[in-house]
Amino acid sequence: MKTLHYTLSVSLTFLLLSCKKDGQNSNLSQDSLLSKKEVVIPEIYKQYYGIYTGDFAGKEKMIDEGDGSEYEGEINKRISLKINRITKDSVYGQSIVNGHQRPFQGIFNEPTKSFILDEPGNDNSDGRFEIKLSNDSLTGKWTAYKKSFVKSSIKTLKLTKKEFAYNPNFMLDEDSNLVDWSNPKDFIEKYTDESTGKIESYTTQKNRIASDAIFKLNASKQKLTEKDLKNLRKLDLEIIKNAIFARHGYSFKKDTYRYFFEQTDWYIPVSNNVDKELSPMEKENVALLNRFIQYAEDKYDSFGR
């Protein structure tokens, strides 16, 4: 009787283990089937992947500084399109302009070498790119979805494929225009009227100007000291600081900084956040420059445009 009880126990245990094992095998089989269903969509035309950067131009209403009349002028900005992935049915990437980074998805037609790329549409500045590829260039147009929310609802693009690489040696060209055209300031000027002898006054606009110091200090290569910075203008300090971010491909929101770095042939905006890319020395230099920027003064002068 005892032997029979033992035999039954062993048989029952074996049966339970077998069921459990079968259950595990069943689950594994289901997992295997699920993984087999996850079909990897092959990527194609990888030779077209990369960053295309260049002119993003559109007509906007402007005000004549002389008589206050309104006219239509062309505004030219720099844009980068990053094509990250192409499959049989879709193209994936992102647009970067004015510090604004937006994803896009679209289609590519190989026979005509043309792209139709759509930004999501949940931002007032989103739109559609219709562009054609020729060798390493992209040309075409962008059309806003919400025309009433943007200054220029249609813009043209002329882009060239470029390889982005961080280089601490990059500097502003020495023939760069050193005027900050985006932040004019009103000044009261006085003069003596020769006919009456009275002192008269008038209002004139002046712009901030940088000094040649911006061609000498490189905050990506040298540890800056207070002695290096103590006599610099505020605009000098801002340019030296933002050159760090420009070298890492930061897309500037402020016109002032975009204007300075877009004068170079090395500046390629690729991201709206490069903080993690900065070296420890660059971070220390940024902190020091911020301290001096807070209290520095600017030099203004009058210019014609």
Residue 149 has a pLDDT of 87
Domain count, the chain: 2
For the chain, the straight-line distance linking the first and the last C-alpha, in angstroms and rounded, comes to 111
CATH number of the domain to which 244 belongs: 1.20.58
Spacing of C-alpha 179 from chain mean position: 23
Q: In the chain, what percentage of residues exceed pLDDT 70?
A: 85
Phi first, then psi: what are they for 204, rounded to 5°?
-130, 150
Residues 55 and 157 in one domain: yes
pLDDT band at 33 (very low <50, low <70, confident <90, very high): very low
Question: What's the token pair of residue 45?
Answer: 């035309």
Top pLDDT among 190 and 166 is at 166
**In a domain? residue 267:** yes
Mean predicted lDDT score pLDDT of the chain: 86
Residues 138 and 62 in one domain: yes
Helix, strand or coil, per DSSP, at residue 9? helix
**In a domain? residue 192:** no
- Which has the minimum average pLDDT: 30-39, 56-65, 138-147, 217-226? 30-39
Residues 129 and 222 in one domain: no
- Provide the phi-psi class of 197: left if phi over 0, else alpha when psi is between -120 and 50, else beta: left
pLDDT band at 148 (very low <50, low <70, confident <90, very high): confident
Summarize the confidence of residues 81-110 as an average pLDDT.
95
Summarize the confidence of residues 273-289 as an average pLDDT.
97
Do 62 and 73 touch, CB atoms closer than 8 A? Answer: yes
The residue segments making up the domain with residue 98 are 46-162
Do 127 and 154 touch, CB atoms closer than 8 A? Answer: no
In this structure, the number of other CB atoms found within 10 A of the CB of residue 91 comes to 20
Residues 62 and 141 in one domain: yes
**In a domain? residue 286:** yes
**In a domain? residue 275:** yes
CATH number of the domain to which 98 belongs: 2.40.160.90
CA distance 138 to 51: 11
Residue 2 clears pLDDT 90, i.e. is over it = no
Question: What's the token pair of residue 152?
Answer: 């220029």
Residue in the structure block whose two tokens are 């689950």: 27
Selection from 253, 84, 48 nearest residue 159 by Cα: 48
